[in-house]
């Protein structure tokens, strides 16, 4: 693994979080963070989203809390132009939204626009690292 992959993925995530914290920026967030062939599912979703356009309305809903932040957990694994990483997300209470924590698995693809997510799966809860 190239030593700077973790830094590159963290930078891509930080850019996405900064965009997500700005109201009405769902399209900008999607274009900077996700590939068009994104597939996504997770705990609490009754749907499997087979591409980015099918996820846009849901993305607008799940990014309404501007307190959410993510951090890389462990080291990414890579193969060619693909990387897999774990991220922890924490959101504080905001308006009528409760505080929440998520464990997220991302599959990234490196292309002309840099590292972007092509697959995502998440579950509720915090990471507790084993000794």
Roughly how many angstroms between the first and final C-alpha of the chain, as a whole number?
A: 23
Predicted confidence at residue 11, as pLDDT, reads 95
Q: What is the DSSP letter of 46?
A: S
Predicted confidence at residue 130, as pLDDT, reads 74
Predicted confidence at residue 2, as pLDDT, reads 53
Tokens linked to 15: 């850019």
pLDDT at 86 over 70: yes
pLDDT at 46 over 60: yes
pLDDT at 56 over 70: yes
pLDDT at 107 over 70: yes
Alpha helices by DSSP H, listed for the chain, are 5-20, 26-33, 52-62
Assigned CATH topology for domain 5-124: Nuclear Transport Factor 2; Chain: A, (3.10.450)
Q: What is the mean pLDDT of the chain?
A: 93
């Amino acid at each position: 693994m190239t030593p700077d992959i973790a830094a590159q993925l963290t930078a891509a995530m930080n850019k996405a979080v900064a965009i997500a914290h700005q109201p009405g920026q769902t399209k900008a967030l999607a274009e900077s963070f996700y590939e068009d062939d994104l597939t996504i599912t997770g705990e609490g979703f009754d749907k499997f989203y087979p591409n980015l356009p099918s996820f846009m309305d849901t993305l607008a809903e799940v990014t309404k809390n501007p307190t959410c932040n993510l951090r890389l957990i462990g080291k990414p694994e890579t193969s060619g132009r693909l990387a897999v990483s774990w991220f922890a997300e924490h959101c504080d209470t905001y308006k009528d939204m409760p505080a929440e924590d998520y464990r997220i698995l991302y599959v990234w693809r490196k292309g002309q626009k840099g590292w972007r997510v092509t697959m995502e799966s998440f579950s509720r809860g915090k990471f507790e690292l084993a000794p």
